[in-house]
Amino acid sequence: IALASNFAITFFDQLKAAFIYGWSQWGFYTIGVLYIFSTLSVGQAFCSWVCFYGGIDEGFSKIFSKQILKINTVPKIIRDFPVGFWIFLMLASIVLFEPVFCLWFCPYKLTTAFLNKGDLFIYKMQIIIFVSIGIIFLVVLPLLLKKRTFCSFICPFGGFISVAGRINPFKVYRDFNKCEKCGKCIEVCPNFAITKEYEVLSYCVKCGKCLDNCENNAISIGIKSKNKSIEKISYIIFTLSVFLFAGAISSFFIPDAIVILLKLLKIAG
């Protein structure tokens, strides 16, 4: 999203760098590729277990022990907003040749260097918008709802992951025979990812809270298929994806170490 305005130029530069240096020198597109790869490997688990920005509204949501506003489900059109917002930001950034999200909406700025200081009115509007989004969706609503509201209703990266992650086989499943529809899973879900009909949406971040709070053990996380052969293939693909992703972010130290270990075992045997 931040690079959509100069995608072609940056992509060409990164492509040239790829033929000269190691992966760690490729810059933003290396991070982007790893980001997409992690999405295909573990889906939105990235949001729950890796994304440090999500820890902000998550932290505020834990301050109060009880939920002040009892809102645990929202209309699908509201929950789908991050996807539409992501598409809008990509198109707007390409057309306007500027990182629209970074300039106007991102509440995580540690500096105002991104802002347009040439026009005082636009500068003030930018500050008002991103500060307001930060206060409302990172502080106030998480305190009241005990939910990750920025992640649920604004974050365009989460919207992208929810789309790309739909082909990921690693999902949350509900056993209809065990489920008593007590609503506890809906109540504890931090991302409004379970509907009133107990359907688990693609926005699920695999945090495991629904599993921990289900007294009937009706919820599980894994790879399932009616066709056992497909299920086995999915497990293999998932395992290889995680392995390759881990290898990539470790500059292939992990797979190299395993290869060396296997060679040593062969020699010892």
Count of domains observed in the chain: 2
**Domain boundary, last residue among 118, 135, 164:** 164
| Residue 251 and residue 151 share a domain | no
- Indicate whether 34 and 120 sit together in one domain: yes
Please provide residue 174's backbone torsions phi and psi, each rounded to the nearest 5 degrees. -115, 130
Residue 241 lies in a domain: yes
Q: In 10 A of CB 103, how many CB atoms? A: 20
Last residue of a domain, which of 116, 136, 164?
164
- Report the C-alpha gap between 188 and 209 in whole angstroms: 6
- Neighbouring C-beta atoms of residue 58, cutoff 10 Å: 20
User: Tell me: the pLDDT tens digits for 119-176?
Assistant: 778 778 878 888 888 899 989 999 999 999 998 998 888 888 888 767 777 788 888 8
* Pair 33, 151 in one domain: yes
Domain containing 32: what range? 4-164
pTM: 0.71
Is 138 in the same domain as 235?
no
Residues 152 and 235 in one domain: no
Q: Is residue 232 part of a domain?
A: yes
How many of the other CB atoms lie within 10 Å of CB of 20? 8
Q: Of 81-85, 159-163, 214-218, which range is least confident?
A: 159-163
Instruction: State which of 114, 141, 164 marks the end of a domain.
Output: 164
Question: Could you tell me the two tokens for 108?
Answer: 């995580």
The residue behind tokens 């000269």 is 20
Residues 65 and 159 reside in one and the same domain: yes
